[in-house]
Amino acid sequence: PTSTSGQPFPWHHMRLPKTVSPLHYDLAIHPNLTTLDFSGVVRIQLEVHRDTSLVILHAKQMQISEALLLAPEGARPLRVLEYPRFHQLALLLDSPLAKGGTYQVLLGFSANLSDSFHGFYKSSYRTSSGEVRVLASTQFEATFARAAFPCFDEPAFKAKFTIQIIREPRHIAISNMPIVKTVELPGGLLEDHFDTTVKMSTYLVAYIVSDFLSVSKTTHRGVKISVYAVPEKIDQTALALDAAVTLLDFYEEYFHIPYPLPKQDLAAIPDFQSGAMENWGLSTYRETALLYDPHKSSPSDKLAVTKVIAHEYAQWFGNLVTMEWWNDLWLNEGFAKFMELISVNVTHPELQVDDVFLGKCFEAMEVDSLPSSHPVSTHVENPVQIQEMFDDVSYDKGACILNMLRDFLTPEAFEIGIIRYLKHFSYQNTVSQHLWESLSNLCSPDHLNKGDRKQIFAEPSHTSHWKQWFSDDELDVQAIMDTWTLQEGFPLVTVEVRGREVRLSQERYLKTDDPSLTEGFLWQIPLTYVTSASSTVHRFLLKTKTDVLYLPQEVDWLKFNVDMSGYYMVHYAGDGWNAIIHLLQHNHTVLTSNDRASLIHDVFQLVGVGKVRLDTALDLSLYLSRETETMAVTQGFEELVPLYKLMEKRDMAALENQMKGYIVDLFRGLIDRQNWDDSGSVSERVLRSYLLLFGCVRNYPPCVEKATRLFNEWRASGGHMSLPVDVTMAVFMMGARTPEGWDFLFEKYRTSLQMSVKSRMKVAMAFSPLRDKLAWMLEQSVQGDVMKLQDLPDVVVTVSRNPRGYNLAWDFLRANWHTLIKKFDLGSNIIAYMVTGVTNRYSTTEMLDEVKRFFGSLTEETGSEMRSIQQTYETIQDNIRWMEAHLPELQAWLDKHR
């Protein structure tokens, strides 16, 4: 490699050498919110592991003003070379640093505040009087600490940080640790000195300079929790503050480890790319993810805020015990996603988080069923590949396989293994294998100490649970879990019943027309099942391609993957599906709502790979006219709506309308029974919002009339009339259909301070049939003035789902591609969300060619290698195959059931 000065750069790997490692950073930063730049000095204490006259570290897009080696005999200047392609600096020394010694280097640096959403970046907001105020905030995960100060920016280089921030008196500064003292500087500036952090990775460092206000409370053990927000929204922080205190108390008890810092701040940032970030001691959030108005926000908003705090607070994983490298990102994120389920279930049972969790497993399967999927733990090298790890596989599949493992080991044994893992590896870095080892030695009773054994085997049910899984074999958790983390995809288990004999076989479920891609895959699958003769959950570990199990008696039906706690799909061969359809038609409540949702999911997914006829899946869907549970109803919509969504982008109005009519008829009874108010449980309220919105979008007359009347009354009141929260989405959706209604909504959007209300208005406006308004809205989002740039991805994807707007969204994505990848970062989940969101309902070879022409014209620097582009091709190919294979069958079935 050649450095910027033209001299050879002395290191040619993307990963840093292990010759030295940082022990401590003293970091002083001075951001200027007027000139929008910052300068700083960092002093890094180094430990030397091998003699070297070279220190390689990271810095990205910054000027280095001085570089010194601080030695006992005085400071010596260092020669600095830069290699921007790998974001690396080389510090060259005259005489070598000796192995075993500790040294200090000092670097002066400066840079502009970033105008993207990462590094040390500028954010702004508008007050209700129209004044624009600026703040500066950080987002360092995964590889952006190097854009804020020179550092060893890899997760395994853990160190302690002592931070100082210079600011004007009208601002405050917050960071990972509390302020120890504030010093007055010449010129009226103030310098805040923060306490030293615990040992941690660079991506968890955080600081904010702003005019935020805060509210605080203390946990049982005396940890101070504070929520920060812009002054005019501080009254929307009560829910987050209460949830944060409750959840921190829960985690301390669950993990048996005290939270190691004296305080924990949560800050709502006006410009924020993802949902939230778990910086230690200062977690940061998008405003919609943290702020909640009890009068205007919905139960879904309440669940979303609670879940995201639960996710960031599951930071014993990641912060305390960190993955060695980004290939095991799932250890952080999959675990945090899984802990949302565990923690919110205990602390907020009324929010019924189970309903949402199952949907996450289905979402993961959607991506994981494509040939371009990747193993949960997968090799990554460069920043774009690292960014791509932040996807549904790392988060949702990671969470779903952990949930399967917990069900398999029992919750008690699983918890003991987790505690053992966290205590053993505190402040260290781990790989997946360390987790499996911590869970393995538990599983044979001989390895448990007396206390653990007493806890697990206190109830007779657990002993039998162990015996059902394995007889004399010692349970090898790693052997089982390696099959789920080291190979991509997931299994389809085929079940065929012959009398008392149940024949089992497994294969990879894959949406492809190339059968060779499914070969060579084998999982160890913890099967669970119930039968018509026994509601007890039976267990069987399927380790081979095929196996047989024997029932004590013949049965009318059986259901595998009880409650969908396993990450696999099931095909009931022979007469199996007919038996299930008969059961659902006559007595569907014998199965749990999760079981019914998983049957709906599996039967429709099996149509796509030719295992089940479309008639069979549609026959099963008929039972939905009697379904009332949220999870099963929403899964019915998830499988049926895409069928007409594919047709909306083709010219086939007659069949499309017939399909829409079938779905409305199916749920008509349930829609008619909904009240237009906010009564009922969280689950009932979520279902009400869903059904009334669907009714309005599908022009079901009773919904349209009621929603239009409510919108007109609300508009006549100048927007002051209080609408029931659960119906606002349907009401806004109807209002946005006329130019006057749309303009009124936009005016309310512009002035509203309620984030969840703004969010619903934004979706309604982006789903309007008025194409000129859609085009204007897309342009506004890029400018980022009235509609913030952070909301652009949602606007683009919503417009793409709008039958009147999908080609606008596609044209917009192409025209603004280079701006988007600069602002949102190549490989990020936001770019992937836009790429797949805009294209995943195309189903013609013409559109496939057009999509390939555009993405094929990109270079590697502009994203041609991104996984989401491959996923897009595969999804459209799958849609084309589906339409070619099933349209006549669909037409015939709908005619028959008219």
Instruction: Give the chain's end-to-end CA distance (angstroms, integer).
Output: 69
- Look at residue 454 in the predicted model and tell me its pLDDT: 40
Q: Computed from CA positions of residues 299, 275, 360, 730, in that sequence, does the dihedral angle turn out positive or negative?
A: positive
Task: Give the Å distances, CA to CA, from 522 to 379, 493, 729, 749.
Answer: 21, 11, 45, 52
The string of DSSP letters for 394-456 reads IIIIHHHHHHHHHHHH-HHHHHHHHHHHHHHTTTSEE-HHHHHHHHHTTSSGGGS-HHHHHHH
Separation CA 791–CA 271 (nearest Å) = 9
Separation CA 512–CA 502 (nearest Å) = 28
pLDDT in tens, 111-161: 999 999 999 999 999 999 999 999 999 999 999 999 999 999 999 999 999
Q: Any idea of the CA torsion for 430, 433, 438, 442, to the nearest 10 degrees? A: 170
Separation CA 358–CA 342 (nearest Å) = 13
- Residue-wise over 680-703: b if at least 16 C-beta within 10 A, else e? eebbbbbbbbbbbbbbbbbebeeb
Q: Reply yes or no: is the peptide bond before residue 142 cis, omega within 30 of 0.
A: yes
Task: Give me the architecture of the 322-452+473-482 domain, per CATH.
Answer: Orthogonal Bundle (1.10)
Token pair belonging to 770 = 């008025």
State the CB neighbour count (10 A cutoff) for residue 103.
18
Q: What are phi and psi of 891, to 5 degrees?
A: -60, -45
Give domain 212-314's CATH superfamily.
Answer: Neutral Protease Domain 2 (1.10.390.10)
If we measure between CA atoms, which residue out of 813, 807, 805 comes closest to residue 781? Answer: 813
Binding residues for Zn(2+): 311, 333
- Look at residue 457 in the predicted model and tell me its pLDDT: 38
DSSP classification of residue 9:
P
Q: What are phi and psi of 38, to 5 degrees?
A: -150, 155
Task: Give the Å distances, CA to CA, from 386 to 144, 240, 308, 525.
Answer: 12, 30, 22, 29
Do 15 and 151 contact (CB within 8 A), yes or no?
A: no
**Matching CATH number, 489-589, of 1.10.357.10, 2.60.40.1910, 3.40.50.720, 3.30.2350.10:** 2.60.40.1910
- Look at residue 447 in the predicted model and tell me its pLDDT: 42
Do 394 and 376 contact (CB within 8 A), yes or no?
A: yes
State the CB neighbour count (10 A cutoff) for residue 387.
25
Question: Which residues, 6 or more positions from 540, have their beta carbon under 8 angstroms from its beta carbon?
Answer: 468, 504, 527, 528, 529, 547, 549
Give burial (CB, 10 Å; 0-12/13-18/19+) of 224.
middle
- Residue-wise over 308-317: b if at least 16 C-beta within 10 A, else e? bbbbbbbbbb
Task: Give the Å distances, CA to CA, from 449 to 142, 420, 452.
Answer: 39, 12, 5
Decide: helix, strand or coil at residue 529. strand
Separation CA 765–CA 805 (nearest Å) = 12
Question: Which residues, 6 or more positions from 668, have their beta carbon under 8 angstroms from its beta carbon?
Answer: 700
Task: Delimit the domains of the chain by residue range.
Answer: 1-211, 212-314, 322-452+473-482, 489-589, 674-768, 774-890
Task: Give the Å distances, CA to CA, from 320 to 257, 313, 421, 429, 744.
Answer: 10, 11, 11, 9, 49
In this prediction, the residues of the chain whose per-residue pLDDT falls under 70 are: 441-474
Q: What are phi and psi of 357, to 5 degrees?
A: -60, -45
Do 431 and 328 contact (CB within 8 A), yes or no?
A: yes
Helix 238-255 and helix 411-424, axial crossing angle in degrees, nearest 10? 90
Do 43 and 25 contact (CB within 8 A), yes or no?
A: yes
If we measure between CA atoms, which residue out of 726, 635, 735 comes closest to residue 681? Answer: 726
pLDDT in tens, 346-387: 999 999 998 889 999 999 999 999 999 999 999 999 998 999
Token pair belonging to 46 = 């180094």
DSSP classification of residue 393:
I
Do domains 212-314 and 322-452+473-482 share one topology? The answer is yes
Q: Give the residue numbers annotated as catalytic, written as ranges.
A: 312
Binding residues: 311, 333
Do 102 and 46 contact (CB within 8 A), yes or no?
A: yes
Task: Give the Å distances, CA to CA, from 858 to 585, 792, 832, 863, 866.
Answer: 52, 22, 15, 6, 10
The string of DSSP letters for 244-282 reads HHHHHHHHHHHHT---SSSEEEEEEESS-SSSEE--TTE
Token pair belonging to 718 = 């100048």
Separation CA 833–CA 240 (nearest Å) = 27
Do 281 and 744 contact (CB within 8 A), yes or no?
A: no
Q: Kindly report the CATH class assigned to 1-211.
A: mainly beta
β-pairing, 102-112 with 224-229?
unpaired
pLDDT in tens, 858-893: 999 999 999 999 999 999 999 999 999 999 999 999
The string of DSSP letters for 662-693 reads HHHHHHHHHHHT--SSS-S-HHHHHHHHHHHH
Do 289 and 308 contact (CB within 8 A), yes or no?
A: yes
Do 700 and 733 contact (CB within 8 A), yes or no?
A: no
- For residue 743, the number of C-alpha atoms closer than 13 Å in the C-beta half-sphere is 4
Residues across the chain: 898
Q: What are phi and psi of 348, to 5 degrees?
A: -135, 65
Separation CA 583–CA 588 (nearest Å) = 6
Decide: helix, strand or coil at residue 788. coil
If we measure between CA atoms, which residue out of 487, 536, 214, 542 comes closest to residue 377? Answer: 487
Do 477 and 432 contact (CB within 8 A), yes or no?
A: no
Separation CA 581–CA 622 (nearest Å) = 9
Q: Any idea of the CA torsion for 83, 88, 89, 94, to the nearest 10 degrees? A: -90
